């Protein structure tokens, strides 16, 4: 699930409540590809792969084919940095020769798609006619014959006998176009196999999406990567400045410092109405504020018989969202500390109502204190008091937590605002998530 709350509109629920696909297969083949990218929320550089910085370190590993013959597979590290405001945007080289495309890194959705219409600026739109490896999916492809329409990608056959898809989101935004196969080309010698992705001819967002969840059509699954990680820098709001972060596909040299927790995996047959089985579900156990653990039952953070209460980590959501019981406890503690200074009858984005005038932000953050998300095995995500409040514009700061109930969801979602200065690694083979503190702005340079 991916959410973005815009600073310039009441609510921009970006990529939330994606339709759940019909199958999940979290098992991944070993692949030694290791790449390091930037994410950016600024204007794109010239549309050329020459912007990539190749590191000198080259690894090699091996795997076996069906005949048990050892095949050598090269492995690379690419270094890029990304700029962060409310979304994590990575510029990826797609096609042959590669065209660099901006894509939202989204661990909460499955299908990746790129912009293929002429309405976007030349640097943001992919031109299929310029790529020798691009091909459209015909109507005869299995994806155009969904077995269970309610749980698969909505597809149809267009007038050209091509597979047409439509993705609609809860707030009315959408992307539609043709399904296609295309490579991600990292260098002259390293590229992914042709992956299924959307080539959007109509959309309400100027960028594409890099779908990274556990679904069979995600970039992570189709490219057979074993792990990926990112480091979100601290958010800055002053004009002309955007801090840089880091994105690795494959091996991350910092991982020896990470602390890991096991993901909760839900079998395909275990369908529940309020559960997203393709999300990265993690075992949150409690929340502390100002050094005091709140009296919230750990059961609130786990999926119940209907799937409600699932806790997931999502790079595509800006804020964190908590189900009613947990949100009410957090809000009561904030009201106890600084309730008299809270803006009355003010709700940011329709979901966040713990807001204050910016002139008091420093003092309010000090009174609230640091916030800690507590996981199993003593793993913690610590939010310093300096980052408890988010600048939402208009002279207002809000606690970066919203109500899932007001959102219309039944899940706990840890967004990227609470992932600042933190390595987050998704180890797909070992089915675990790793965390490591870092100065992400320094690492992204």
pLDDT in tens, 51-68: 222 222 222 233 334 444
Render pLDDT for 321-368 as a digit per residue (tens, 0 to 9).
999 999 999 999 999 999 899 999 999 988 899 999 999 999 999 999
pLDDT of residue 299: 96
How many other β-carbons are positioned within 10 Å of the β-carbon of residue 210? 31
Q: Are 395 and 402 in contact (CB under 8 A)?
A: no
> Residue 27: pLDDT above 80?
no
Q: Which residue has the higher pLDDT, 70 or 407?
A: 407
**Res 74 pLDDT > 60:** no
Helix (H) or strand (E) holding 168: strand 163-168
Instruction: Give 294 or 269, the one with higher predicted confidence.
Output: 294
Beta-carbon contacts of residue 135 (< 8 Å; ≥ 6 apart):
180, 181, 182, 194
Going from the C-alpha of 395 to that of each of 5, 237, 353, the distances in angstroms are: 16, 12, 15
Is 357 marked active-site?
A: no
Catalytic residue, chosen from 276, 314, 333, 427, is 314
| Residue 151 Cα distances to 23, 113, 276, angstroms | 9, 19, 11
Q: Which pLDDT belongs to residue 144?
A: 84
pLDDT at residue 120, as a whole number: 54
Side-by-side strand order, sheet with 371-375: 292-293, 284-289, 371-375, 380-383
Question: Is 314 an active-site residue?
Answer: yes
The whole-number average pLDDT for the span 13-41 is: 45
Contact in structure between 187 and 54 (CB atoms under 8 Å): yes
The pLDDT tens digits of the residues spanning 141-160 come to: 888 876 544 345 778 888 88
Amino acid 42: pLDDT = 39
pLDDT digits 0-9 by tens, 216-267: 999 999 998 999 999 999 887 556 666 778 999 988 999 999 999 999 988 7
84 pLDDT higher than 90 = no
Average pLDDT (187-216) is 89
pLDDT of residue 215 exceeding 60:
yes
* Whole-angstrom distance, CA of residue 238 vs CA of residue 222: 39
Mean pLDDT of the chain: 80
Q: What domains, with CATH codes, occur in the chain?
A: 35-255 (2.40.70.10), 257-443 (2.40.70.10)
The three-class DSSP label of residue 26 is: coil
- Is residue 123's pLDDT more than 60? no
- pLDDT above 70 covers what percent of the chain? 74
Give the separation between CA 233 and CA 380, rounded to whole angstroms: 18
pLDDT at 197: 95
pLDDT at 21 over 90: no
Predicted structure pTM score: 0.83
């Amino acid at each position: 699930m991916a959410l973005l709350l815009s600073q310039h509109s009441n609510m921009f629920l970006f990529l939330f409540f994606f339709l759940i696909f019909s199958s999940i297969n979290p098992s991944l083949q070993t692949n030694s590809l290791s790449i390091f990218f930037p994410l950016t929320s600024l204007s794109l550089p010239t549309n050329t792969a020459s912007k990539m910085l190749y590191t000198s370190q080259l690894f090699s590993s091996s795997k076996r084919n069906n005949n048990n013959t050892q095949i050598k597979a090269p492995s690379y590290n690419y270094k890029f940095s990304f700029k962060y405001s409310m979304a994590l945007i990575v510029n990826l080289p797609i096609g042959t020769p590669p065209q660099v495309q901006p894509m939202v890194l989204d661990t909460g959705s499955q299908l990746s798609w790129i912009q293929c219409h002429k309405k976007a600026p030349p640097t943001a739109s992919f031109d299929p006619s310029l790529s020798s490896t691009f091909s459209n999916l015909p109507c005869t492809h299995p994806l155009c014959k969904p077995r269970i329409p309610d749980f698969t990608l909505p597809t149809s056959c267009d007038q050209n006998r091509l597979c047409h898809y439509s993705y609609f989101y809860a707030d009315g935004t959408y992307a539609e176009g043709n399904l296609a196969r295309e490579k991600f080309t990292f260098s002259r010698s390293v590229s992914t196999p042709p992956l299924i992705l959307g080539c959007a001819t109509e959309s309400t967002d100027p960028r594409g999406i890099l779908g990274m969840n556990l679904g069979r059509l995600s970039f992570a699954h189709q490219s057979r990567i074993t792990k990926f990680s990112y480091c979100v820098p601290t958010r800055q709001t002053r004009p002309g400045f955007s801090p840089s972060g880091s994105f690795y596909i494959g091996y991350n040299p910092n991982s020896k410092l990470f602390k890991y927790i096991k993901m909760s995996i839900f079998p395909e047959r275990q369908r529940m109405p309020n559960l997203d089985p393709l999300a990265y579900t993690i075992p949150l156990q409690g929340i502390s504020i100002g050094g005091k653990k709140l009296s919230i039952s750990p059961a609130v953070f786990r999926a119940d018989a209907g799937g409600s209460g699932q806790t997931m980590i999502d790079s595509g959501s800006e804020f964190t969202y908590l189900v009613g019981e947990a949100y009410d406890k957090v809000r009561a503690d904030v009201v106890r500390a600084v309730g008299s200074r809270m803006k009355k009858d003010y709700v940011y984005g329709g979901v966040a109502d713990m807001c204050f005038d910016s002139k008091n932000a420093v003092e309010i953050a000090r009174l609230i204190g640091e916030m800690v998300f507590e996981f199993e095995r003593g793993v913690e995500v610590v939010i310093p008091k300096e980052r408890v409040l988010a600048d939402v514009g208009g002279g207002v700061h809000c606690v970066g937590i919203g109500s899932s109930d007001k959102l219309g969801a039944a899940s706990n979602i840890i967004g990227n605002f609470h992932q600042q200065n933190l390595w987050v690694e998704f180890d797909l083979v070992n089915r675990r998530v790793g965390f490591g503190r870092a100065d992400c702005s320094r690492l992204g340079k």
